[in-house]
Every structure is written in C-alpha cells, then in structure tokens.
Amino acid sequence: MSKGGNINEIEAKIKEIEAELEQETHNLVRLKNRKTYYENGERQKRAHRLITRGAAVENIAPSVKDLGEVEFYELAEKIFALPEVKNLIAKEVN
C-alpha cells in the first residue's frame, strides 16, 4: 500500500473518531441538562408548595400579613404545639 493510501486511511479514522467524540460530548451535555432539570424540578415543586401553603394561611388568617417573620414563626410554633392541633395533624396525615 502506498503512503497516500495510508494517510487517507488515517485521516478517515481521525474524522470518524472526532465524529464519535462530538456525539459523546453532545450526549454528556444532554445528560447534564437532564440532571439539572430534575434537580431544579424538585426545588420548583417545593417552592410552589411553600407559596401555596403560605397563601392559604394568609387567606384563612389575613392578619398574619402584619406580623414580622419572627412573630409569625413564634405564632406558628405556639399553634403547632397545641395538643389538639398535634392530634388533628396526626389524624390527617394518617
């Protein structure tokens, strides 16, 4: 076989390997994007849940809007420490 044929074969092999590398790089990017989508999806679901529940609290007790963050947490702790509230939560969860 001549040198020209050998060089052409090597160049063809290089192009083939470069194409495979590009395809695998694309697959890696796609998998990273999918991972980020699922991770962000869970955060978005949690944020949505927190927002809707906070809105429900303000709807049921509009005056809580006037409380500062510390006062709101103190009130929530007192409410959720009440035995009847603990019982209601346990009943609803089960």
- Provide the domain count of the chain: 2
- The answer to whether residues 31 and 69 belong to one domain is no
Q: How far is CA 45 from the centre of its chain?
A: 7
Question: What gap in Å lies between CA 46 and CA 13, rounded to an integer?
Answer: 50
- pLDDT given for residue 42 in this prediction: 85
Question: pLDDT-based confidence at 3, cuts 50/70/90?
Answer: low
**pLDDT of 84-94, one tens digit each?**
999 999 999 99
Please state, in angstroms and as integers, the Cα–Cα distance from residue 52 to each residue in 29, 46, 57, following that order: 34, 10, 9
Question: What gap in Å lies between CA 36 and CA 26, rounded to an integer?
Answer: 15
- The answer to whether residues 74 and 93 belong to one domain is yes
- The answer to whether residues 32 and 2 belong to one domain is yes
- The answer to whether residues 88 and 44 belong to one domain is no
Is 79 within 8 Å of 71 (Cβ atoms)? no
- The answer to whether residues 4 and 17 belong to one domain is yes
- The answer to whether residues 40 and 82 belong to one domain is no
**pLDDT of 31-73, one tens digit each?**
999 998 888 888 888 999 999 999 999 999 999 999 999 999 9
Decide if pLDDT at 5 tops 80.
no
- The answer to whether residues 73 and 56 belong to one domain is no
Q: Percent of the chain, pLDDT > 70?
A: 96
Is 67 within 8 Å of 75 (Cβ atoms)? yes
Please state, in angstroms and as integers, the Cα–Cα distance from residue 65 to each residue in 44, 54, 59, 61, following that order: 24, 10, 10, 8
Q: What is the pTM of this model?
A: 0.53
- The answer to whether residues 75 and 91 belong to one domain is yes
